[in-house]
Chain A
Amino acid sequence: MTATAARPADPTEVVRSESALRTFLHGLPGVDQVGAEQRAAMLSTRSIKTTAKQWAIDLAIRMVDLTTLEGADTHGKVRALCAKARRPDPEDPSCPSVAAICVYPSMVPTAAAELAGSGVHVASVATAFPSGQAPLAVKVADTEAAVAAGADEIDMVINRGAFLAGRYREVYDEIVAIKAACGDAHLKVILETGELATYDNVRRASWLAMLAGGDFIKTSTGKVTPAATLPVTLIMLEAVRDYLDATGRRVGVKPAGGIRTSKDAIRYLVLVNETAGDGWLDPDFFRFGASTLLNDLLMQRSKMKTGRYSGPDYFTLD
């Protein structure tokens, strides 16, 4: 029942049974809510200026999963978004591409065609996103279809109902099944932290997702409030850091939903830097799930380069 339980030499050992898994997850060190929130608040007072700000903005752009997840999405909108993903600032070739486009499975063929050869990844939400309320067979089929259509990253949602009921093994088995359906595609596991209610649950869900083989753990679907918050991301960063220590495997983190300004993004990067460290300051291991964030990053970027703010009309609305 101590923190050393958080360091399984052999992850397969703790998932061999429902009770072993439960014992392990409940043996993880607790999270003191006040302390965690205070730490996140303190880190958001870091003052990132001049060269550090420029560097952070470029990195943040490279970490964006440019997202559109609306019922009203059209192929035209997705094509426009892909163009923006490749060249976020058409007037400035030095502006880096974003990390990925994130769309519904039906839009994957369009995105894959537009982004072929660009280095920008195609991410698709799957597993009956955002609720996850579908039979496992449907979720697996959903995933396979998205991968077959050209997605190389899958954002799945966990079964929160089962998790909150304490049926950890069921959640674990689902993630394992989806991971298998992904094949070579990277799997991001959405914990939907806004529905998990406590930081202890966030930590347990993070470990569960990592033990099941998730390549990334992601805060939110963006369809539930609250979505990503700094303290939740702090807890998840601590989890991936500890998981690397325990197993040697580096898992990524993706806060999603509600990150709208460059200032927000920089706060997250500070959190990454001072919690997990340099190893995560890389689009392979940290992403932002966002739509409006990119324009603000571009505005700040051009302000840093030119000394002037352009109006919002100079950046495309998508």
Chain B
Amino acid sequence: MAFEYAPAPESRSIVDIKPSYGLFINGEFVEPTDGTLFKTISPATEEVLAEVPAAGEADVDRAVRAARTAHETVWGSMAGADRAKYLYRIARIIQERSRELAVLESLDNGKPIRESRDVDVPLVAAHFFYYAGWADKLPYAGFGPAPRPIGVAGQVIPWNFPLLMLAWKIAPALACGNTVVLKPAETTPLTALVFAEICQQAELPPGVVNIITGAGETGAALVNHPRVDKVAFTGSTEVGRAIAKSVAGTTKRVTLELGGKAANIVFDDAPIDQAVEGIVNGIFFNQGHVCCAGSRLLVQESVAEELLASLKRRMTRLRIGDPLDKNTDIGAINSAAQLDRIRTLSEIGSQEGAERWSPPCQLPDRGFWFAPTIFTGVSQAHRIAREEIFGPVLSVLTFRTPAEAVEKANNTPYGLSAGVWTEKGSRILRVADQLRAGVVWANTFNKFDPSAPFGGYKESGYGREGGRHGLEAYLAH
């Protein structure tokens, strides 16, 4: 007998999306100087959700000036314990409004409500709580006896975890006494704008947080603004490289969190059922729109066949569809452009001779959708094994010895994360030691915690976010 789950949609009524938004500058929503607006849509239905302004250079300048003034007059000299009060207040309001934020995030981004409700929003609140705790303890963080804030931080974040990336950027910056101008991604601006409302609700002094919406040009204007002291970017390696070039020769400090092509290594003595869960979580979590996604599965040859059979069986159980349905495992691809990229690279995978497989699944007619896909028979030379796809596409490679696994895992321009699956503790330690990746997960994957630093090697960027280490990027010492 088949157990069909009836639709269980989370109600949209908790969110109140305005037809249009302003730029959040100096504590209030203002019209853009040149009045240009763009639409943000729900990728699951292509429904227009709201219109938001595209900030031009004059708007960026206004925002940076507001941040500068706030830094010099209020925030930079405020006692750490007092800054902490604001951060705690923001964290509590995020918890109080968590359902609203989760629904809005799923609408604007396409990710399943189960993820925004159980992962994104709780981590956002946790991040603010965590850094609120640091605000009055900075002299003991190991960055000198009297670390000072840097000044104004220009922050540009991606669309895959809109609110979470905002928290990763804003919480440590504010805790350290910096003020910020943040640009959310053009496809997912809405939760950042609700966060602006939360700043008002928390009575954060005007200018401490400024949110400006827009696309690449807005981001470039922000990063290149001469009065920005610190640039923080999360996104593609291509844009990260451009930013690094544009700030070269200036006094600006930079942290970049870029792409990845993580290896998830499964040894023959792994806990197979949990490894299968970890592989699924590693690549299909958030539709694979995760920079640290385990997009390359390296499986020991002696268990490859069995593991793949288990993985395929598990994939037939994945539930794809309405992001607001509480039982959905995989939601919509964030944009038409991203869907194109995933399709193109997947077709290249087939052309290069890898074997493609997806479980039978019905995709909705409207919106941007891509079935979870695995490629077997992939070699290191294939483009799908080298390039970041940023979608629900897994490349499966095999290995015979631990040395071969490590060699293949490290043979990539990236180095953001990796996973090791084995019941043997000594092997975990040895392999983790040899992997050149910022995060190595053992017998788990895609686990995040505000106290754990996160960041990359090589083309995955530089600087660390999260934990005590995450303070360094926002302190002059």
Question: Given A30-B423, A274-B317, does the pair A51, B273 have CB atoms closer than 8 Å?
Answer: no
Interface size on B, residues (CB 8 A): 29
How distant is B103 from chain A, measured CB to nearest CB, in Å?
14
How distant is B286 from chain A, measured CB to nearest CB, in Å?
15
Residue of A nearest to B274 (CB): A35
- Give the docked Cα–Cα distance between A55 and B5 (Å): 10
User: Quick check: is A249 within 8 A (CB to CB) of the other chain?
Assistant: no
Query: When the two chains form their complex, are residues A1 and B326 in contact, meaning their CB atoms are under 8 A apart?
Result: no
- Give the docked Cα–Cα distance between A238 and B310 (Å): 11
- Give the docked Cα–Cα distance between A149 and B268 (Å): 50
Query: When the two chains form their complex, are residues A55 and B303 in contact, meaning their CB atoms are under 8 A apart?
Result: no
Query: When the two chains form their complex, are residues B1 and A35 in contact, meaning their CB atoms are under 8 A apart?
Result: no
Contacts of A278 in B (CB 8 A): 1-3
Query: When the two chains form their complex, are residues B268 and A30 in contact, meaning their CB atoms are under 8 A apart?
Result: no
Contacts of A45 in B (CB 8 A): 114, 118, 326
Contacts of A7 in B (CB 8 A): 306
Q: Interface digits, B269-296 against A, CB 8 Å rule (1 contact, 0 not)? A: 1111110011000000000000000000
Classify the interface of chain A: helix, strand, loop or mixed.
helix
How distant is B425 from chain A, measured CB to nearest CB, in Å?
12
Q: Which of B2, B8, B268, B443 contacts A49 (CB 8 A)?
A: B8
Query: When the two chains form their complex, are residues B8 and A48 in contact, meaning their CB atoms are under 8 A apart?
Result: yes
- Give the docked Cα–Cα distance between A198 and B469 (Å): 37
Query: When the two chains form their complex, are residues B3 and A3 in contact, meaning their CB atoms are under 8 A apart?
Result: no
Contacts of B423 in A (CB 8 A): 30, 32
How distant is A60 from chain B, measured CB to nearest CB, in Å?
11
Which B residues between 186 and 217 are near A, CB-CB below 8 angstroms? none
How distant is B311 from chain A, measured CB to nearest CB, in Å?
13
Q: Which of B5, B7, B268 contacts A3 (CB 8 A)?
A: B268
Contacts of B327 in A (CB 8 A): 46-47
Q: Interface digits, B253-268 against A, CB 8 Å rule (1 contact, 0 not)? A: 0000000000000001
Residue of A nearest to B117 (CB): A45
Contacts of B16 in A (CB 8 A): none
User: Quick check: is A2 within 8 A (CB to CB) of the other chain?
Assistant: yes
- Give the docked Cα–Cα distance between A270 and B319 (Å): 13
Query: When the two chains form their complex, are residues B6 and A29 in contact, meaning their CB atoms are under 8 A apart?
Result: no
User: Quick check: is A151 within 8 A (CB to CB) of the other chain?
Assistant: no
Query: When the two chains form their complex, are residues B268 and A52 in contact, meaning their CB atoms are under 8 A apart?
Result: no
Query: When the two chains form their complex, are residues A30 and B271 in contact, meaning their CB atoms are under 8 A apart?
Result: yes
- Give the docked Cα–Cα distance between A278 and B313 (Å): 13
Query: When the two chains form their complex, are residues B317 and A32 in contact, meaning their CB atoms are under 8 A apart?
Result: no
Query: When the two chains form their complex, are residues A51 and B6 in contact, meaning their CB atoms are under 8 A apart?
Result: yes
How distant is A42 from chain B, measured CB to nearest CB, in Å?
8
User: Quick check: is A98 within 8 A (CB to CB) of the other chain?
Assistant: no
Q: Interface digits, A48-63 against B, CB 8 Å rule (1 contact, 0 not)? A: 1111110110010000
User: Quick check: is A4 within 8 A (CB to CB) of the other chain?
Assistant: yes
User: Quick check: is A282 within 8 A (CB to CB) of the other chain?
Assistant: yes
Contacts of A270 in B (CB 8 A): 3
Q: Which of A2, A38, A51, A53 contacts B302 (CB 8 A)?
A: A2
User: Quick check: is A80 within 8 A (CB to CB) of the other chain?
Assistant: no
Query: When the two chains form their complex, are residues B273 and A238 in contact, meaning their CB atoms are under 8 A apart?
Result: yes
Query: When the two chains form their complex, are residues B274 and A36 in contact, meaning their CB atoms are under 8 A apart?
Result: yes
Query: When the two chains form their complex, are residues A4 and B1 in contact, meaning their CB atoms are under 8 A apart?
Result: no
How distant is A53 from chain B, measured CB to nearest CB, in Å?
7
Which A residues between 1 and 26 are near B, CB-CB below 8 angstroms? 1-4, 7
Question: Given A2-B302, A274-B317, does the pair A48, B5 have CB atoms closer than 8 Å?
Answer: yes
Contacts of B238 in A (CB 8 A): none
Q: Interface digits, B325-363 against A, CB 8 Å rule (1 contact, 0 not)? A: 011000000000000000000000000000000000000
Query: When the two chains form their complex, are residues A52 and B274 in contact, meaning their CB atoms are under 8 A apart?
Result: no
Contacts of A46 in B (CB 8 A): 5, 326-327
Contacts of A39 in B (CB 8 A): 273-274, 277
Query: When the two chains form their complex, are residues A47 and B8 in contact, meaning their CB atoms are under 8 A apart?
Result: yes
User: Quick check: is A34 within 8 A (CB to CB) of the other chain?
Assistant: yes
Query: When the two chains form their complex, are residues A35 and B444 in contact, meaning their CB atoms are under 8 A apart?
Result: yes
Query: When the two chains form their complex, are residues A56 and B3 in contact, meaning their CB atoms are under 8 A apart?
Result: yes
Question: Given A269-B3, A281-B1, does the pair A30, B269 have CB atoms closer than 8 Å?
Answer: yes
User: Quick check: is A317 within 8 A (CB to CB) of the other chain?
Assistant: no
Query: When the two chains form their complex, are residues B269 and A52 in contact, meaning their CB atoms are under 8 A apart?
Result: no
- Give the docked Cα–Cα distance between A78 and B409 (Å): 64
Question: Given A2-B302, A45-B118, A238-B273, does the pair A50, B444 have CB atoms closer than 8 Å?
Answer: no
Contacts of B270 in A (CB 8 A): 29-30
Query: When the two chains form their complex, are residues A281 and B3 in contact, meaning their CB atoms are under 8 A apart?
Result: yes
Contacts of A48 in B (CB 8 A): 5-6, 8
Query: When the two chains form their complex, are residues A35 and B8 in contact, meaning their CB atoms are under 8 A apart?
Result: no
Query: When the two chains form their complex, are residues B8 and A31 in contact, meaning their CB atoms are under 8 A apart?
Result: no
User: Quick check: is B4 within 8 A (CB to CB) of the other chain?
Assistant: yes
Residue of A nearest to B113 (CB): A47
- Give the docked Cα–Cα distance between A52 and B327 (Å): 12
Residue of A nearest to B306 (CB): A3
Q: Interface digits, B444-461 against A, CB 8 Å rule (1 contact, 0 not)? A: 100000000000000000
How distant is A304 from chain B, measured CB to nearest CB, in Å?
12
Question: Given A35-B274, A48-B5, does the pair A1, B317 have CB atoms closer than 8 Å?
Answer: no
17 A/B residue pairs, CB under 8 Å, sorted by A = A2-B269, A4-B303, A29-B269, A29-B272, A31-B271, A34-B444, A45-B118, A45-B326, A46-B326, A47-B326, A48-B6, A49-B7, A50-B6, A51-B4, A274-B317, A278-B1, A281-B2
A residues adjacent to B (C-beta < 8 A): 1-4, 7, 29-32, 34-36, 38-39, 45-53, 55-56, 59, 238, 269-270, 273-274, 278, 281-282
**6 additional contacts, CB 8 Å, given A35-B443, A36-B274, A274-B317?**
A29-B272, A30-B269, A36-B273, A49-B8, A53-B6, A55-B4
